[in-house]
Amino acid sequence: MQDKQTVTVLYYDFPAGLVMHNVVLKDLPVSEQGRVLIPAAFREGKSIVAIMEGECKMLNSLGERVFAKSDIA
């Protein structure tokens, strides 16, 4: 089992964020059950949507498309 892991976290600002954010967190501890432990300080003020293994780059999200369409209209 791996002691530390890198993950990409997708989240919205809580309570009413409209734009999805992503951040890469490195060297996070892994529990005995194999779950990555996200620090409480990071989780504060966020609504986490997904945690993905490794470094991922978000190309676009629904929130970005909504704002782009409203700029055109």
pLDDT digits (tens, 9 = 90+) for 3-19: 899 999 999 998 888 78
Taking the whole predicted model, whether its pTM rises above 0.85 is answered as: no
Give residue 65's Cα distance to chain centre: 18
pLDDT band at 70 (very low <50, low <70, confident <90, very high): low
Q: Are 40 and 9 in contact (CB under 8 A)?
A: no
pLDDT digits (tens, 9 = 90+) for 17-49: 878 899 999 999 999 999 999 999 999 999 999
**Residue given tokens 């999805």 in the structure block:** 20
**Residue given tokens 């986490």 in the structure block:** 48
Q: Where are the domains of the chain?
A: 4-72
For 62, the token pair is 């629904």
Statement: residue 56 has pLDDT above 70: yes
**27, 11, 22, 69: CA torsion to nearest 10:** 180
